[in-house]
């Protein structure tokens, strides 16, 4: 009898675990005949060079930011660059605080990596706002975003369950090399339509060459 009850409880627990909500995951554009340009690992010194280049062509990008990667997001220059990019109409989203591989972390650590950038509790808990290490994007830009890119594109069911309120944005085209004459690499031409391209502002020469080629 006890064995039957234990089996029933165990089965019920497994069923609940399997039915836990998980974050949605997208790796390509949902709008027909579109290409999304996304940039990871900022803020960094080349961020506004890239956003200005996009602005000059009437285009917008999405910048997935870390809190403490190349520089601390709360520094004066990073804050100024973030505000300039955001106020120009570009999208700013979370790429975690420390750029750690979330698959290697436990649930508490995963939650912390996300909450340091934008917390789902920020609108209801005033003390959360006063915590230096919570909700950086809200403090700097006044927004919380559900769009999220896991570092290295690495995630599993636990990561999706812990961050179930977010939408994971991956990519289907990694940054590609551009020929010296600035013609678009064939891989980039073949990728359209409905492509999510990822680039890294820290690699300024590669990113700006690609943008110049795409816009030409």
* Exposed / middle / buried, residue 189 (Cβ in 10 Å: 0-12, 13-18, 19+): exposed
Q: Check whether 181 has a pLDDT greater than 50.
A: no
Q: With contact defined as beta carbons under 8 Å apart, do 120 and 165 qualify?
A: yes
Q: Given 3.20.20.370, 3.30.1370.100, 2.60.40.1180, 3.20.190.10, which CATH number is that of 23-215?
A: 3.20.20.370
The mean per-residue pLDDT over the stretch 195-213 comes to 52
Q: Check whether 54 has a pLDDT greater than 50.
A: yes
Note the pLDDT of residue 144. 84
| 33 or 130: which leads in pLDDT | 33
Q: Check whether 171 has a pLDDT greater than 50.
A: yes
pLDDT tens track for 2-31: 455 444 444 444 344 568 899 999 998 888
pLDDT tens track for 83-114: 999 999 999 999 999 999 999 999 999 999 99
| 127 or 64: which leads in pLDDT | 64
Note the pLDDT of residue 187. 45
Structure tokens at 74: 């709360």
- Other Cβ atoms within 10 Å of 83 Cβ, number: 13
Structure tokens at 183: 């013609």
What is the rounded CA–CA span in Å between residue 99 and residue 102?
8
Q: Give the DSSP H or E segment for 41.
A: strand 35-42
Q: Exposure pattern of 24-46 as b/e (b: 16+ CB <10 Å)?
A: eeeebbeeeeebbbbbbbbbbeb
78: confidence class by pLDDT, cuts 50, 70, 90: very high
The mean per-residue pLDDT over the stretch 17-46 comes to 86
Q: Check whether 170 has a pLDDT greater than 70.
A: yes
pLDDT tens track for 106-155: 999 999 999 999 876 654 445 455 565 678 999 999 888 889 999 999 99
Across the chain, what does the average pLDDT equal? 77
Q: Check whether 195 has a pLDDT greater than 80.
A: no
Domain map (residue ranges) of the chain = 23-215
The mean per-residue pLDDT over the stretch 153-172 comes to 96
CA dihedral 85, 65, 113, 105 (to 10 degrees): 170
In this prediction the pTM is: 0.76
Note the pLDDT of residue 43. 86
């Amino acid at each position: 009898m006890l064995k039957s009850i234990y089996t029933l409880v165990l089965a019920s627990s497994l069923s609940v675990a399997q039915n836990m909500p998980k974050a949605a995951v997208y790796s390509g554009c949902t709008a027909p005949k579109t290409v999304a340009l996304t940039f990871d690992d900022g803020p960094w010194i080349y961020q506004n060079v890239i956003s200005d280049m996009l602005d000059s062509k009437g285009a917008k990008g999405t910048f997935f930011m870390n809190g403490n990667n190349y520089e601390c997001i709360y520094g004066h220059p990073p804050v100024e660059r973030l505000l300039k990019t955001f106020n120009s109409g570009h999208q700013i989203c979370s790429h975690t605080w420390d750029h750690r591989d979330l698959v290697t972390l436990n649930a508490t650590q995963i939650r912390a990596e996300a909450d340091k950038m934008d917390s789902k509790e920020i609108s209801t808990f005033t003390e959360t706002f006063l915590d230096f290490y919570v909700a950086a994007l809200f403090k700097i830009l006044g927004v919380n975003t559900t769009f999220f890119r896991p570092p290295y594109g690495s995630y599993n069911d636990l990561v999706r369950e812990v961050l179930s309120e977010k939408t994971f944005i991956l990519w289907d085209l990694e940054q590609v090399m551009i020929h010296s004459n600035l013609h678009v690499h064939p891989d980039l031409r073949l990728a359209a339509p409905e492509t999510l391209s990822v680039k890294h502002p820290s690699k300024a020469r590669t990113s700006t060459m690609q943008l110049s080629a795409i816009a030409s």
